[in-house]
């Protein structure tokens, strides 16, 4: 076998721009490993790569996808952290490893930091070559499909809540879209920290699933105004932290939900990035507006250990064949999924 199937985006547009192609199987170089993918996780980032983002340039053609789980089937010279046959998950963030930020453990602040499937070829293929630093043992309690669904969202949510917002036990956090990939991770992390978790979800079934993840209160945003409900649940005090990733549709009300000294932390803007912000409200209430992208590899390794301990769980909706990548994108964009979507080569 000398060739493999992969999904390639050659130009931005609709689902038809996700092309299934054949390429030679890559060979790992020094310090690299090759992974035979058993499952590939889908994230909103994949839809942005396909559609394009105004003001941002993606390097096309590109193989998308940042999450994957499989087996190491070849290693390059000098690799000592894994061996052929190891079941691994792929860590999505790549950095130089030698700059000050990297050596301080803040690799997501490296000037060379990039995400697999965003600025270089990713994992939507039968095989992928990645730096040896970007593989870790698959948590033993997880299937390959579950392993492919956790790294990017848990790393992002951990960095948002712990590193950026400094959420503490006893505080109250509002998590938007609590059954989304990053939202379901945030609910579990906040609960593990000992915070009071208020989450939103669309419809009774999604609300019930979010409650099962550890949310103390779940607001059906399709039936009720979340800001009004937060005000009632907190006795008009507001929440200490808002976990934002929806953007334009929720941001203004999110800021209004904050208590004095509160923090809103955001990693995305799926409904648009243009928002209005009253600086008077920010300084009178001592508010913090925090941005966050990805997180540190060391934190992700901690997260994987917590999966091994059974303290976190993967929230998987379904697995689809690689050839149905367009349908997977449709399900993700229409919010029809009850958890993460995974492709199987």
Tokens of 114: 């990039």
Decide if 219 is inside a domain: yes
| 8 A C-beta contact, residue 112 and residue 99 | yes
- pLDDT above 70: percentage of residues in the chain: 100
Q: Look over the chain and give the mean of its residue pLDDT values, rounded to a whole number.
A: 96
For residues 95 and 185, give the distance between their C-alpha atoms in angstroms, rounded to a whole number: 24
Q: In this structure, are 20 and 141 located in the same domain?
A: yes
Q: Both 176 and 73 in a single domain?
A: no
Residue 210 lies in a domain: yes
Tens digits of per-residue pLDDT, 140-197? Answer: 999 999 999 999 999 999 999 999 999 999 999 999 999 999 999 999 999 999 999 9
Do 230 and 256 belong to one domain? yes
pLDDT of residue 274: 87
Question: Would 297 be classed as within a structural domain?
Answer: no
**Can you give the pTM of this predicted structure?**
0.94
CATH code of 220's domain: 3.40.50.720
- 96 domain residue, yes or no: yes
Check whether residue 217 and residue 286 sit in a common domain: yes
Q: Is residue 306 part of a domain?
A: no
Residues 4/36, Cβ–Cβ less than 8 Å: no
Is the per-residue pLDDT at 70 higher than 90?
Answer: yes
pLDDT at 268: 87
What percent of the chain is modeled with pLDDT above 90? 93
Given a cut of 80, whether residue 1 has pLDDT beyond it is no
Q: State the total domains in the chain.
A: 2
Same domain, 131 and 159: no
Q: What is the pLDDT of residues 224-275, one digit of tens each?
A: 999 999 999 999 999 999 999 998 899 999 999 999 999 999 998 888 888 9
Is the same domain home to 215 and 241? yes
Range of the domain at 261: 154-291
* pLDDT for res 185: 97
Inside any domain, residue 218: yes
Q: Could you tell me if residue 299 is inside a domain?
A: no
Would you state the pLDDT for residue 265? 97
Q: Give strand pairing partners of 296.
A: none
Mean pLDDT of 198-226: 97
The CATH number of the domain holding residue 46 is: 3.90.180.10
Please name every residue paired with 294 in a beta bridge, in sequence order, or none if there are none: none
pLDDT in tens, 321-336: 999 999 999 999 998 8
81-135 confidence digits (pLDDT tens): 999 999 999 999 999 999 999 999 999 999 999 999 998 999 999 999 999 999 9
Tell me the pLDDT band of 53, cut-offs 50, 70 and 90.
Answer: confident
Let me know whether 212 and 324 are in one domain: no
Q: Do both 60 and 172 map to the same domain?
A: no
Cα(345)–Cα(328) distance, integer angstroms: 13
Does residue 124 sit in the same domain as residue 194? Answer: no
In this structure, is residue 174 part of a structural domain? yes
The 3-state secondary structure of the chain reads CCEEEEEEECCCCCHHHEEEEEEECCCCCCCEEEEEEEEEECCHHHHHHHHCECCECCCCCECCCCEEEEEEEEECCCCCCCCCCCEEEECCEECCCCCHHHHCCCHHHCCCCEEECCCECCCCECEEEEEHHHEEECCCCCCHHHHCCCHHHHHHHHHHHHHHCCCCCCCEEEECCCCCHHHHHHHHHHHHHCCEEEEEECCHHHHHHHHHCCCCEEEECCCCCHHHHHHHHCCCCCEEEEEECCCCCCHHHHHHCEEEEEEEEECCCCCCCCCCCCHHHHHHCCCEEEECCCCCHHHHHHHHHHHHCCCCCCCEEEEEEHHHHHHHHHHHHCCCCCCEEEEEC
Same domain, 44 and 160: no
Checking if the pLDDT of 286 tops 80, the result is yes
Same domain, residue pair 30 and 167: no
Shared domain check, 132 and 224 = no
pLDDT at 273: 86
């Amino acid at each position: 076998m000398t060739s493999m199937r992969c999904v390639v985006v050659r130009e931005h547009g609709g689902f038809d721009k996700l092309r299934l192609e054949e390429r030679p199987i890559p060979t790992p170089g020094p310090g690299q490993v090759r992974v035979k993918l058993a499952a590939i996780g889908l994230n909103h980032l994949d839809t942005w790569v396909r559609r394009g983002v105004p003001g941002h340039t993606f390097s096309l053609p590109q193989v998308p996808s940042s999450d994957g789980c499989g087996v190491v089937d070849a290693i390059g010279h000098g690799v000592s952290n894994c061996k052929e046959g190891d079941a691994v998950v792929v860590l999505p963030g790549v950095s130089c490893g030698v700059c000050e930020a990297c050596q301080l453990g803040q690799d997501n602040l490296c000037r060379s930091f990039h995400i697999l499937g965003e600025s270089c070829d990713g994992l939507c293929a039968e095989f992928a070559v990645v730096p040896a630093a970007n593989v870790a043992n698959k948590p033993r309690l997880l299937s390959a499909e579950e392993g492919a669904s956790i790294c990017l969202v848990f790393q992002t949510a951990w960095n948002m809540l712990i590193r950026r917002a400094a959420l503490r036990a006893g505080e109250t956090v509002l998590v938007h879209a609590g059954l989304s990939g990053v939202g379901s991770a945030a609910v579990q992390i906040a609960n593990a920290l000992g915070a009071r978790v208020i989450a939103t979800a669309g419809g009774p079934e999604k609300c019930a699933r979010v409650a099962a993840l550890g949310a103390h209160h779940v607001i059906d945003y399709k039936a009720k105004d979340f800001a009004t409900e937060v005000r009632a649940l907190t006795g008009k005090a507001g929440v200490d932290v808002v976990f934002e990733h929806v953007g334009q549709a929720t941001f203004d009300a999110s800021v209004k939900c904050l208590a004095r000294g509160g923090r809103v932390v955001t990693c995305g803007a799926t409904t648009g990035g243009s928002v209005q912000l009253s600086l008077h409200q920010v300084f009178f209430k001592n508010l913090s507006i925090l941005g966050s992208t990805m997180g540190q590899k060391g934190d992700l390794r901690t997260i994987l250990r917590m999966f091994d301990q059974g303290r976190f769980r993967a929230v998987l909706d379904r697995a689809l064949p690689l050839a149905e990548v367009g349908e997977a994108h449709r399900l993700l964009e229409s919010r029809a999924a009850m958890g993460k979507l995974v492709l199987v080569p």
